[in-house]
C-alpha cells in the first residue's frame, strides 16, 4: 500500500515511534528512523526490515533545527522525496506542581515537545508543498493532569500548531494530530 513512499519517524528508537516505524515499513514504506539513540534505533530498523520493509537509522537531535534540516535533506538526497512524517519524539519532563516546577525543565520539555514540531513542520512542508501532497502526523497526548504543566502546555501547543498548519496547507498537505492515552511502554 505504501510502496514507493518515503516516511520519517522522529523518536523512532523506542515506544510509539518504534511501533509507527515498523508499521509503516510493514506496509511497504521506506522509513527513516530518526533518534539520538543509535543502538535502539538500529534495533527498530531490524524489526522493520523483518516485516519485509526497508528502514534506515538517521541520527537526529530534534531540538537542533540544523539537525532537523539535515534529516529532511537526507530523505530527499537518498530517496528523492518525503511523503509522510510522524513527528513523535517527546518527553514527559518531571512531575511537579507549577509552583515547584524547575524552569530549566520547562524549557527543555517545550524545546523537545513543541519547538521541535515547529521546526519539523518548516522543513517537511518546504519539501511537500511544492509537490502538492504529503501527510504529517504530530503526536500530542490527552494527558493533562496535575503535575504535568510543561507537558500539558507543550501538547496543547502541538494541537494548535497542527491546526494552523492544516489551515495553511488546505488540501495540499494533510496535517493531523494523534493524542494517545497513557500507555505502558513496551520495549520490544
Ligand X SMILES: NC(=O)c1ccc[n+]([C@@H]2O[C@H](COP(=O)([O-])OP(=O)(O)OC[C@H]3O[C@@H](n4cnc5c(N)ncnc54)[C@H](O)[C@@H]3O)[C@@H](O)[C@H]2O)c1
Q: Shortest distance, CB of residue 93 to ligand X, whole angstroms?
A: 10
Among 5, 20, 90, 119, contact with ligand X (rule: CB under 6 A): 90
Distance, first Cα to last Cα, the chain: 25
Residue 129 beta carbon to ligand X: minimum distance, rounded to whole angstroms: 24
Site for ligand X contains 14 (CB under 6 A): yes
Query: Which residues from 30-69 bind ligand X, rule CB under 6 A?
Result: 35-37, 40, 60-63
Measured CA to CA, the distance from residue 80 to residue 64 in angstroms comes to 23
Using DSSP, how many helices (H) and how many strands (E) does the chain show?
6, 6
Nearest distance in Å: CB 55, ligand X: 14
CB count within 10 Å of CB 12 equals 34
Cα separation values, 37 from 154, 155, 158, Å: 22, 23, 23
Please give the positions annotated as active site: 151
Residues 132-161: x where in contact with ligand X by CB under 6 A, - otherwise, as a string: -------x-x-x------------------
Going by C-alpha positions, the residue among 94, 89, 102, 111 that lies closest to residue 148 is 94
Q: List contacts with ligand X (CB under 6 A).
A: 10-11, 13-17, 35-37, 40, 60-63, 88-90, 112, 139, 141, 143, 180, 182-183, 185
Amino acid at each position: 500500500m505504501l510502496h514507493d513512499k518515503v516516511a520519517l519517524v522522529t523518536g523512532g528508537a523506542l515506544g510509539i515511534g518504534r511501533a509507527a516505524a515498523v508499521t509503516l515499513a510493514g506496509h511497504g514504506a521506506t522509513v527513516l528512523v530518526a533518534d539520538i539513540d543509535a543502538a535502539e534505533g538500529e534495533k527498530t530498523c531490524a524489526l522493520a526490515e523483518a516485516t519485509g520493509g526497508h528502514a534506515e537509522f538517521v541520527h537526529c537531535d530534534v531540538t537542533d533545527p540544523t539537525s532537523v534540516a539535515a534529516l529532511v535533506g537526507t530523505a530527499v538526497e537518498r530517496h528523492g522525496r518525503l511523503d509522510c512524517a510522524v513527528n513523535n519524539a517527546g518527553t514527559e519532563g518531571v512531575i511537579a506542581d507549577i509552583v515547584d516546577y524547575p524552569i530549566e525543565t520547562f524549557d527543555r520539555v517545550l524545546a523537545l515537545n513543541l519547538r521541535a514540531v515547529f521546526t519539523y513542520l518548516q522543513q517537511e512542508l518546504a519539501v511537500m508543498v511544492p509537490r502538492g501532497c504529503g501527510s504529517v502526523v504530530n503526536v500530542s497526548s490527552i494527558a493533562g493532569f496535575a503535575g504535568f504543566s510543561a507537558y500539558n502546555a507543550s501538547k496543547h501547543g502541538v494541537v494548535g500548531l497542527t491546526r494552523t498548519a492544516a489551515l495553511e496547507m488546505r488540501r495540499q498537505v494533510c496535517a493531523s494530530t494523534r493524542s494517545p492515552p497513557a500507555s505502558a511502554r513496551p520495549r520490544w
